[in-house]
Chain A
């Protein structure tokens, strides 16, 4: 059975991972899809752990509860208020730009090679749109909290 100390260590380790991801997200202007998805998953992972641990608050040591509060504050003040809106705005802008470029390149006859090269850009657009949906689902979660 996992002891309180083990739980505390796991939470601490996951929070540090999140802290690093948030620091990276804060310093980067152009996160790739993998980095975005990884960061959101870690936010959700740590948030779920925090919720679960708070439900059994009576049996948790005070130091862990204090760590949970600190981490939740980081998520709320750094991620939800600053990084998440920045990522969403950046993805939305990328989609607009990619769409515009692909539309402007749609006229005229193209070679087989050009069509297949453009198809990769369309695929990139689809991936970015899926990422936006994923990020928006997080947004919906925040607004229902």
Chain B
């Protein structure tokens, strides 16, 4: 069922690209209510809309029927955060969010796989950690950029997804008392993601109870703009093999930067052996 929702989102995104005539830097939609294509609890959809309406990166919203689905379109701008990240050099990859719906579907998969905690690494505005919380999972949002963490703190009033302003490579993970975590690694392999993932994997592998119990989600791409990995997996094959992880599945979901692309982000799910 979840993979059907993911496919429906990708199909509807393609419809959206055809009909969107605005000029915003980023744009996405969330269905207004539960439907056959998106059998999502109304209360969850309300919380997803709330994340968008309280998030200052979005400056405009309007109703639009996309395909057969009534949606709210959110238009946003993340230039201020991009400028801050390149000024301080703190971030290895500039902030470019996945769609809120993609974060929710990714978290649904994580829950279905039996994970109880989502750790959103390089979390941007914390949307994946927020979505995990919507689904009743525990979550932590790790972000090195102070301006983005400031933004996250504005979004925790209803659901506290535990923002931490920290370098994920040096973070004290045992302090979170994790039992069955899944780590979402922000950033494509080719955009600093490998460095970040390697640092976090090394750290988690040194914690005995987590080494065997952890799941991993890597954001990959099939775009020809980026050099492929010889072991494939949308740029992550070598890292997966080197760290003796077991590939579980791949889900294709839209993100802000794939709006004008034919391929979506490939979320590669893997687990420790």
Contacts and interface: CB of A to CB of B under 8 A. Distances in A.
Interface of A: 99, 102-103, 106, 110, 112, 115-116, 118-119, 122, 125, 129
A121 to B, nearest CB: 9
Given A99-B87, A119-B25, A112 B79 contact: no
Interface string B24-66: 1100000000000000000000000000000000011000000
B77 interface: yes
Contact of B82 (A110, A112, A116, A122): A122
Interface residues of B, number: 13
B77 A102 contact: no
Contacts of A125: 83
Contacts of B79: 102, 118-119, 122
A106 B87 CA distance: 14
B21 to A, nearest CB: 13
Contact of B83 (A99, A110, A112, A115): A99
A16 B59 CA distance: 52
B208 interface: no
A119 B77 contact: yes
A112 B59 contact: yes
Contacts of B25: 116, 119, 122
Interface in B47-98: 59-60, 75, 77, 79-80, 82-83, 86-87
Contacts of A102: 79, 83
Contacts of B87: 99, 103
Contact of A116 (B23, B80, B83, B86): B23
Given A116-B23, A116-B24, A119-B77, A103 B83 contact: yes
Given A103-B87, A116-B77, A118-B79, 11 more contacts: A102-B79, A102-B83, A106-B80, A112-B59, A115-B24, A116-B24, A116-B25, A118-B77, A119-B23, A122-B79, A122-B82
